[in-house]
Structure 1
Amino acid sequence: MKIIDQLNRIISIKETPKRIVSLVPSQTELLFDLGLETTIVGITKFCIHPKHLLKSKTIVGGTKQIKLDKIKALQPDIILCNKEENTEAIVKACEQIAVVHVSDIMTIQDCIDMIQQYGEIFNTPKKALKISETIQNNVNDFNLFIKNKHPLKVAYYIWKNPWMVAGQNTFINYLLRLNNFDNVYAHLGRYPEIDEKGLEDADVVLLSSEPYPFKKEHIEELQTRYTNANILLVDGEMFSWYGSRLIKAFAYFKTLHQNL
């Protein structure tokens, strides 16, 4: 079987992979929801859904720093990567061990394409189709919910020391647009650092739970920077995880809007 991944790399798969290493947390969750738990042999320390996998599977490092010796020892049939989560060097190193599939997610359609491709690779087309259709139906329903909502200027923070936000060409920015949020830092790079000189006015400031674990005390700290903004803690997984996590995301977004 010839597969073209989302970086337009042609990969050859002789038979359905039976030993999978996933270096992407959201894709690990997707594998589980596709019914592939028994074929997962290696994951990262950030693959926290479902939590029991951290105890039952081999941890091969993080998403940016991996232990190649552990991966090699697992004798995987395929290694799953992502353009943003994993470095080019990691992909090249993993290619010396097994077939590597790389996802590249910027839109909902990219997510659906990846899910359906996994269905083909791992011979779970019906489950992949069901997940894809559920996500698309939830998106369609959410578009009806959001279409009459007044646009809001939003800043989405992902890090502290230095302060960093989500900018252009990110999946987060794409989901902000779906929420009828005008990202005030969309004119900047993907994850720019923000100092006092770079502050933009915002109606709402969202503090993500990941990768930096923002807490309530950070709301007070940022309130001095955004004196007129509504500052909220948000579930970062809903804004940055793709795959089956998106099934839950749009109900979460509805609740978020109701709390604004």
Structure 2
Amino acid sequence: MRVVSLVPSLTEAVAVTVPGALVGATDWCSHPADLDVVRIGGTKNPDVDAVVRLAPDLVVANEEENREPDLRALREAGIEVLVTEVRDVPGALRELDRVLRACGALARPRWLDEAEAAWEGTPAPARRTTAIVPVWRRPWMVLGRDTFAGDVLARLGVDNLYARHEERYPRIPLPELTAAAPELVVLPDEPYRFTADDGPESFAGVPCALVDGRLLTWYGPSLAAAPARLGEALRAAVS
């Protein structure tokens, strides 16, 4: 089986579960750190010709991460493309199982069982906290409706104030964000790399949680550690 992954989360999942299956991945596929495959560009602008030259049996993609014209071009070149849709934690677990089986996994990996157990064992939060979750600035963009990261936070007791917005990643001016009066601002380090010096200063007087973006937005082996580590970071910010 020869696999090309166009999604960092799926790249990590396939690499640790089906060693040797991956022959290509995007420039953004940073895990595992020692991944040695052909790089085929970004998630939004993959080099379709480079993917075709790798002659994969399967390309794994995601309906949010990747563009339909690129996926269509791969299919027209005779390559099978598996497209995932991940909007919540249960969906991520199901899609990971589907992808890994399609990539040749003979059995469900232990890390996936551990991830499922970790989320099923997450206790109901003692109190809930309202938050905004910026994912970009200049312009400011936040999590909106129907997102995987929003579901992750909701399961940890953090309610996204823009969860009912008509857009999934709306652009919201900073004055409107501050006027929403969140109890917490969650600042991941990807896709925009928020840091202690870049982000919190815009929300004076509001607790800010700087969190590992991989724990918040990746659906893969990191899912097993996400409830405990994210929960700890969120509680520390509002304590």
Instruction: Give the alignment's TM-score, normalised by structure 1.
Output: 0.85
Letter in 1 for 2:105: T
Instruction: Confirm whether residue 80 of structure 1 aligns to residue 63 of structure 2.
Output: no
- Give the match's secondary structure for 1:38: coil
Given residue 29 of structure 2, which amino acid in structure 1 is its aligned partner?
C
Q: 1:123 aligns with which of 99, 104, 111?
A: 104
* Length-normalised TM-score, structure 2: 0.92
Q: For residue 201 of structure 1, what is the amino acid of its counterpart?
A: A
Residue of structure 2 in register with 1:24 after alignment:
7
Q: 1:133 to 1:220 in 2, by over 3 A?
A: closer
Instruction: Output the CA distance in 1 between the equivalents of 2:43 and 2:100.
Output: 23
Counterpart contact for 1:29–1:245, Cα < 8 Å:
no
Matched, 1:241 2:218: yes
Q: Which residue of structure 2 aligns with residue 101 of structure 1?
A: 82
Q: 1:148: how far off?
A: 4.2
Cα deviations by residue, 1:151-177 (Å, 9 ceiling, x for unpaired) = 101111110100111111111111121
SS at match of 2:186: strand
Name stretches of at least 5 consecutive residues in structure 2 with no aligned partner: none
Amino acid of the residue matched to residue 32 of structure 1?
A
1:65–1:119 Cα change, 3 Å = closer
Q: Deviations over 1:209-259 (max 9, x none)?
A: 0011111112442134xx3x1012111111111122211211212322441
2:38 to 45, 58, 64: 58
Residue 86 of structure 2 aligns to a residue whose secondary structure is coil
Shift of 1:122: 2.9
Identical pairs, percent: 29
Structure 1 residue runs of 4+, over 4 Å off?
A: none
Q: Say if 2:209 and 2:234, in contact at 8 Å, map to a contact too.
A: no
In 2, Cα distance between the equivalents of 1:206 and 1:33? 29
Gaps spanning 5+ residues in structure 1: where? Answer: 1-17
Tell me if the contact between 2:88 and 2:147 (Cα under 8 Å) persists in the aligned partners.
Answer: no
Q: State the shift of 1:140 in Å.
A: 1.8
Tell me the matched-pair count: 233
Q: Distance in 1 between matches of 2:5 and 2:42?
A: 11
Contact 1:159 1:212 survives alignment (8 Å)? yes
The partner residue of 2:19 within 18, 25, 37 is 37
Deviation track 1:112-143 (CA, whole Å, cap 9, x = no partner) reads 21222234323324243x3332112101221x
Q: Report if aligned partners of 1:60, 1:67 keep a CA contact under 8 Å in 2.
A: yes
* Letter aligned with residue 88 of structure 2: T
Aligned to 1:48: 30
Change (3 A) 1:214 1:117: same
Partner of 1:194: 172
Shift of 1:26: 0.3
**Partner of 2:197: helix, strand, or coil?**
helix
User: Contact 2:156 / 2:227 at 8 angstroms: preserved in 1?
Assistant: no
CA deviation digits over 1:83-140, x for unaligned, max 9?
0000111110111231000000012221221222234323324243x33321121012
| Alpha-carbon separation, structure 2, partners of 1:158 and 1:122 | 31
CA distance in 1, matches of 2:47, 2:80: 17
Provide the C-alpha distance between the structure 1 equivalents of 2:31 and 2:182, rounded to a whole number of angstroms. 33
Paired residue for 1:215?
A: 195
Partner SS for 1:61? coil
